[in-house]
Amino acid sequence: MDLYLPIQFKMDEMALQEEIAKRVELWKSDAFDQESHEAISILEKQPDELAEAFYKDLEFGTGGLRGLMGVGPNRMNRYTVGAATQGLANYILERASSPSVAIAYDSRNQSDFFAAVAADVLASNGITVYLFDELRPTPLLSFTVRELNCIGGIVITASHNPKEYNGYKVYWEDGGQLVPPHDKGIITEVRKVDSPVKVKNGLNSELVKAVPAKVEQAYYAMVEGLLKLPKDHVGKKELKILFTSLHGTGITMIPKALENAGFSNVHILASQASPDGNFPTVKSPNPEERSAMTLAMEEADKIQADIILGTDPDTDRVGMGVRNVKGEMELLNGNQAAALLIHYLLAVMRANGESFKGRFIAKTIVTSELLKEIADKEGVNCYDTLTGFKYIADLIRNLEGKERFIAGGEESYGYLIGDEVRDKDAVLSTVMLCEMAAWARGNSKSVRELLFQIYKEVGMYRESLISITKKGMRGAKEIQELMNGYRTSPPSEIAGSKVIRVADYLKSTDKDLKTGASVNIDLPSSNVIQLWLADGTKITARPSGTEPKIKYYVSVKAKAEADLESAWNTVGNRIAEIEKDLGL
């Protein structure tokens, strides 16, 4: 039996149970350790949990692995990590002589252990490993791959998932996450590793080396080189910043990066400063969720901070809070923060007399069109990519020597400035968001006032994101059926506005429902549906690639009226109408 062969939903219940039983018996064999045997014994008293852990393999997708930690082929454990790494090693050795790989890990439970497992397997295959001796942010790994000329990199992280999860992200030599053809090539190799016997380990520990200190120093120098304001700028001295790392890796670099940039009034939320994989003060360490930022908002009011910033466990995402017109702390969404960042960078570049010729910004297809409006106003190219920062990294690589990247953003709190890192970077973004706030302050504006100025100049956009969780075998099937429904029988009208366009990124077609005309979408195929309404609303449905969720993105544009606050509320009401009609 193939240990890693996925089981399809078409199997009847009896066949499925038989297959699960075979898999359980295999994991109870001598090929697996006593700890696994004991864990299976416990699960056998919980049949549903046992089935979830063994009914399929933890899929090595285009970004790597992510799943619950535990025993079984559908869980993150030493065997699934070992098999994934052996497949990666096999792929690398077919393409390079004397290759090296960098490995980083975050604060999650077992992250350091999984990093050590991966390092051991790679070294046992004759591959030099540069392993961080302490937890560090994901963007530093991307930078390290490039700085040390590695053929690839691995980060052990489940990003912002709940504490029960962990993951394994793979990077290629450009410092970006896997894209074609390497993603599919590595997946093919991983699937060939159908037994623990095929995984090499314990052979060449001398090939595991520490990442040189000069790499981190070079990263800090890179950040300083991208600063737009002098370190003694008055806004930097006055701006009162509260930072929370949400028990993650941000605490290891962001305070120093802010200090290096000239920010002296920085406060750290002590209750969330200690790296801790149990994330004791939050339900989920996700700065996109208000509950994760509650303690920071409360502390900000106590110390009267101007802004708050919070990063996820591996520090590739950052959330931001600012004061509203009532002086209350209000969280911005990812679209707003990205718009502010892009507007700031372009405005300062223009003021400094820098040319925009041959320069571009990038965003994902689910990110607000507000970014494109800002770029259009300045005469800067704006390119769309599929969801996932790896596609922005791939775009940067494809345009090298032709156009130069300024910055990019995605609605899920990920941003990047410059091209030295090839993934979303919350260390650098935190510094630059603080610069944006200091610049606004130097121009006698709050961040909120700057945002509404942008709305007044190019139009008001408001977005919402609703994630619906559907766990397990049944949930995955329900998500598949929902997407098939939108694909084959899209609604004709939503909340009183006709559906006039359907963009199916799986089929790479964008169809005008009024004329029947269809154009090709020049992006890789992806399971995404976008519905465009006659009033300009854009609605996107997309299953998550890393969680058992289907995500709905709703974006509404309105003319910025004289009373901006009133217009903002009106757009919010329109979003509520659309969500209700969609049954969300």
Helix axes 111-124, 78-93, angle to 10 degrees: 40
Structure tokens at 424: 């979303």
Q: What is the DSSP letter of 302?
A: H
The residue among 406, 388, 355 whose CA lies nearest residue 523 is: 388
Q: Nearest 5°: phi and psi at 31?
A: -70, -15
Q: How far is CA 498 from the centre of its chain?
A: 33
Q: Is the peptide bond before 181 cis (omega within 30 degrees of 0)?
A: yes
From the list 159, 412, 446, 555, the catalytic residue is: 159
Q: Nearest 5°: phi and psi at 446?
A: -85, 165
Q: Which amino acid is at 162?
A: P
Contact criterion met (CB below 8 Å) for 350 and 342:
no
Residue-by-residue DSSP string for 37-103 = HHHHHHHTTSHHHHHHHHSS----BTTEEEEEBSSSTTSBSHHHHHHHHHHHHHHHHTT-SS-EEEE
The residue among 482, 563, 545 whose CA lies nearest residue 64 is: 545
CA atoms within 13 A on the CB side of 254: 38
Give the residue ranges of DSSP H helices in 304-387.
Answer: 334-351, 370-378
Residue-by-residue DSSP string for 190-246 = HHH--SGGG---SS-GGGEEEPPHHHHHHHHHHHHHT--S-TT-HHHHH--EEEE-T
103/112 Cα distance (integer angstroms): 10
Q: What angle do CA 358, 361, 363 make, to 5 degrees?
A: 150
159 among known catalytic residues: yes
Contact criterion met (CB below 8 Å) for 338 and 367:
yes
Structure tokens at 255: 């305070």
In angstroms, the Cα distances linking 552 to 336, 464, 530, 555, 584 are 18, 8, 10, 10, 9
Residue-by-residue DSSP string for 516-553 = --EEE--S---S-EEEEETTS-EEEEEE-SSSSEEEEE
387/366 Cα distance (integer angstroms): 7
The residues, ordered by sequence, that sit 6+ positions from 465 with a Cβ below 8 Å of its Cβ are: 288, 333, 411, 551, 552, 553, 554
185/2 Cα distance (integer angstroms): 19
Q: So which residues are the catalytic ones? A: 159
